[in-house]
Amino acid sequence: MSSRYIIKWSPNVTIYYKDFEATPNIDDGYNIHYYHGMYLKANDLQDAHVVAFFNKKESWIRDSIHANPDQKELQKIRFDLYEYYARRANLKIDKTKNDNNKEFKDIQLIFNTEYDELLAVEKKMFNDDSKLKEEIKFWRPKVDSLLKTTESIYHD
């Protein structure tokens, strides 16, 4: 994954429309597509670390002039959710990686478990039956609270 295309999560990160570098999918009914992810960075067991990111090369916008600002806000909440799960994974990894009885597969299992749970929560977040403003009103305080509980885990 090229760092030129990656924006790592940070407390004040802002994703701008110019950061959407992929070609829009003409068959998709949406105006905008964000690609957020988590990756497990590790050269060895002791330096294993999970990072939440935005991928510019996989994100696109068809029309930034008519883009719905609520969609951008919901995506920021989504990015924050990815960071929360990265922190949770890091907390569990930090407790595991210095144990001589553990192997890389143990770290990978932690990552996979956290990622699967993230995807389940994310699926709830993007409920097609809800309006964006309602989703934002519901999820922003929840995700802010989750991040607050893990502030000490934030890695630069």
Query: Is residue 144 very low, low, confident or very high in pLDDT (cuts 50, 70, 90)?
Result: very high
- Per domain, the residue ranges of the chain are 3-153
CA distance 50 to 52: 7
Distances 41 to 12, 36, 78, 84, 90 between C-alpha atoms, Å: 22, 16, 21, 16, 11
User: According to the model, what pLDDT value does residue 46 have?
Assistant: 86
Closest to 142 measured CA to CA, from 81, 75, 90? 81
Q: Is the pLDDT of residue 82 over 90?
A: yes
Tens digits of residue pLDDT in 87-135: 999 999 998 988 889 888 999 999 999 999 999 999 888 766 668 888 8
Q: Is the pLDDT of residue 73 over 60?
A: yes
pTM of the model: 0.91
Q: Are 20 and 56 in contact (CB under 8 A)?
A: yes
User: According to the model, what pLDDT value does residue 26 have?
Assistant: 82
Tens digits of residue pLDDT in 9-38: 998 899 999 999 999 988 887 888 999 999
Q: Is the pLDDT of residue 1 over 70?
A: no
Closest to 36 measured CA to CA, from 16, 56, 62? 56
